[in-house]
Amino acid sequence: MNRNRIIFGIGVLAFVSVIATVRLGGFLVDNEYRQPDRQAVALEERGEAELTPRQQGIADEQAADEAEARARPYEEAEYRTVPFVGSRVTVWVLAQLHLLFAAFVLAVPLFAFIIEFVGYVKKEERYNKLAYEFTKLLSVSFSMTATFGAFLTFGLIILYPKFTNYLMHIFSPTFLPYVLLFFLEALFLYSYYYGWGKFGPKMHLFLGFMLNIVGTAIMFIANAWLTFMMSPGKRDDVDGDGVPDFVSAVSESGALLSLRDAFFNFTWMPINIHRIIANVAFGGSIAAAYAAFRYLQAKTDEEKAHFDWMGYVGNFVAIIAFLPLPFAGYYLAAEIYAFSQTLGIQMMGGTFSWLFVIQAALIGNLFLGANYYLWLGMGRMEGGVHFQKFIKWLLIAIALCFAVWATPRYAISSVSEIAAMGGSSHPQLSYLGQMSAKNTAVNILILSTYMSFLLYRRTGRQSVHPHRQLLARAQAIVFSSAAALVIFYGVYGYYVDADVRIRFAIPQVYSVLAALVVITVIDLPLYRNAAQSGETKWGRMPAVSQYALIFIALSFTWLMGLMGYVRSGLRQEWHVYGVILDTSPDAYTPTLGFATQVVSVTVLIFFGLLGVVFWLSSLGGKKDWEPKPVADGRDRLEGGQAA
């Protein structure tokens, strides 16, 4: 039987079932049991309504409810609850979904603009086409962001009315600029997307530039609201003793003292920096996942080549942004420590210590996934076998660093366990959990991943530079020196006092960053006009590489969910840290198991919605619907009806 006829039949059956159910329900209500007594007959004769026992019960309940409502004085609600799920989880999921879509909407224009600019400078149409492909994802995602933003706002107003009112008291002057910027973002976003090919390149680039500026400004405003909750003030050397003092933006009772200090609070800029970088990494991974999705659907070699390249660029963007992300993370963590040691220790120790073990697993998987994709990418080019012998060593280095990073410094411990250990750290294992070891691990991870990228870049290419041997040696020396310096400071950190050790992270970071820059600077002329030992065959990647890209996107999303939880959760029982206490039934930190369940549900909802975004975005590339021709020459509709 024709499939369309079956679907049509099911639809008709469903419709008839609904009508039949409604009619049956109506019939049963109309023919309710009535008492066959004389009083009922008398009422009917007088023309008064006769109530069935059910109707009487409903009327009595309504009367009782009304009487209770009238007797109850009006009270301002402090909290409201959501049955089964709870108000905290509701707001948590809504906020996270809003943030995930917002991160994507803010990130994609950033690298779409850069790719378009590169295409404009290099005069290559393929970059323009790629940037447009990325931008296709924006339209639906922007609607999703706005929808979840509205859900979140209503959720906060309904479920946390008193606290939301307090935030309005503090930040109401920022709301109008926020709305205006949001309006401008919609204007620039749609003109950037729909204006593709309609404006001159410079004008179009200007629209993209403005879209990024406005989007970033929106994020900065929203970041002020959330960072205020964590650090409601700034640090300033008030008494001139050279030591920064805490300057609260609000009084002890929560009254606003300085909007400027509330807005530009202590963790505002670290969060801004961290979010910009994280958004780009996340956006790149999601765009790469879209390319992977399209690659797996592709029917032609041309489509495969295009989406393979798109996936590569998306992943490249994600990894390039991901490399400095741990530095931004440590900067943020250091600032949180500097603001409040208690807050910092809550974050890295105590309740959240095991959370960072899961974070380590996620980051380790991201590094492994990214490296695996690069290693598979060597198959695109002939001559890749030459470098494959290095892969096992890189894998060992990554696995070792992964293990060190996953070792917690402090463990969740009971009071008796703390007493037995003389503190909340394990006597032996905590050595690996210290910042000296972790900083070393992450820096070596970054160097290893960069090495994978360099190997990928060299695959199938032969430098023709006259000083190629010298330059290659220089790169090797820089790389080895950076690795040696990182390890030296990592080990030396165990032999010095805390105030010295804490400063060792700086030379470690700078040596790695300097190595990345110097090696890149050497690599550009070294491989300019390099001889190709074979052609790069885009579209030749195995399907597993595309699943790796989707896995990376999933891990990024999960990581964002997890880190969103710790950023918010480390305030513990405070709405605004140290100022406004949470007195709701949810004023406790849930178990990590529960938190990961909420994060997982959020990730699944996000990926379900992302599937819709991908599907809608891919419709643009499909052929227009056309009626199918029939044998007698007349057109026939797909459903079988004659046109």
Partner 1 sequence: MKLSVPMPLRLVLLVLGTTAFYMYLGQIVPQKEAHPPPPVLISAEMTTEDLVAVGAELASGKGQCLVGCHTVGQSGPLRYPDLDGIGARAATQIEGLSGLEYLAQSLYEPAAFIVPGFADGMQPIDQPPISLSEDEMKAVIAWLQSLGGTPTVTLDTELGY
3-state secondary structure 147-191: HHHHHHHHHHHHHCHHHHHHHHHHHHHHHHHHHHHHHHHHHHHHH
Nearest approach, Cβ of 587 to partner 1 (angstroms)? Answer: 6
Nearest approach, Cβ of 551 to partner 1 (angstroms)? Answer: 6
CA distance 625 to 623: 6
Nearest CB to partner 1, comparing residues 261 and 523: 261
Of 13-21, 141-149, 222-230, 589-597, the window that binds partner 1 (rule: CB under 8 A) is 589-597
- Between the CA of residue 221 and those of 85, 180, 242, 264, 497, what are the distances in Å? 30, 12, 30, 10, 40
424 makes contact with partner 1 (CB under 8 A): yes
> What is the helix (H) or strand (E) element at residue 8, kind and residue range?
helix 3-30
176 makes contact with partner 1 (CB under 8 A): no
Nearest CB to partner 1, comparing residues 221 and 587: 587
418 makes contact with partner 1 (CB under 8 A): yes
593 makes contact with partner 1 (CB under 8 A): yes
265 makes contact with partner 1 (CB under 8 A): no
CA distance 577 to 499: 27
Q: Which structure tokens are listed for 361?
A: 């697993």
508 makes contact with partner 1 (CB under 8 A): no
Task: Report the residue from 257, 376, 412, 474 that binds partner 1 according to the rule CB under 8 A.
Answer: 412
Nearest CB to partner 1, comparing residues 436 and 463: 436
Nearest CB to partner 1, comparing residues 149 and 408: 408
The packing angle between helices 468-492 and 435-458, to 10°, is 160
* Residues between 288 and 327 with contacts to partner 1, criterion CB under 8 A: 293, 296-297
Residues 6+ apart with CB under 8 A from 643: 627, 634, 635, 636, 637
CA distance 611 to 631: 38
Task: Report the residue from 499, 624, 626, 632 that binds partner 1 according to the rule CB under 8 A.
Answer: 499
341 makes contact with partner 1 (CB under 8 A): yes
CA distance 286 to 441: 27
CA distance 439 to 258: 37
Would you say 88 and 593 are in contact if contact means Cβ atoms under 8 Å apart? no
Nearest CB to partner 1, comparing residues 183 and 588: 588
Residue 283 CB coordination number (10 Å): 29
Of 76-84, 254-262, 328-336, 429-437, the window that binds partner 1 (rule: CB under 8 A) is 429-437
Nearest CB to partner 1, comparing residues 252 and 632: 252
* Residues between 109 and 168 with contacts to partner 1, criterion CB under 8 A: none
* Residues between 519 and 548 with contacts to partner 1, criterion CB under 8 A: 547
Q: Which structure tokens are listed for 259?
A: 């909007």
462 makes contact with partner 1 (CB under 8 A): no
Nearest approach, Cβ of 352 to partner 1 (angstroms)? Answer: 9
Would you say 99 and 564 are in contact if contact means Cβ atoms under 8 Å apart? yes
Give the amino acid at 412: I
CA distance 559 to 562: 5
CA distance 640 to 643: 9
Q: Which structure tokens are listed for 81?
A: 């609850």
208 makes contact with partner 1 (CB under 8 A): no
572 makes contact with partner 1 (CB under 8 A): yes
Nearest CB to partner 1, comparing residues 506 and 630: 506
- Phi, psi dihedral angles at 621 (to 5 degrees): -90, -5
- Between the CA of residue 509 and those of 326, 334, 493, what are the distances in Å? 10, 14, 14
603 makes contact with partner 1 (CB under 8 A): yes
Task: Report the residue from 87, 223, 436, 475 that binds partner 1 according to the rule CB under 8 A.
Answer: 436
Task: Report the residue from 143, 174, 596, 618 that binds partner 1 according to the rule CB under 8 A.
Answer: 596
Q: Which residues form the interface with partner 1 (CB under 8 A)?
A: 243, 252, 293, 296-297, 337, 340-343, 345-346, 348-351, 354, 357-358, 361-362, 410-412, 415, 418-419, 422-425, 427, 431, 434, 436, 493-494, 496-499, 501-502, 547, 550-551, 554-555, 558, 572-574, 577-579, 587-593, 595-597, 599-600, 603-604, 607
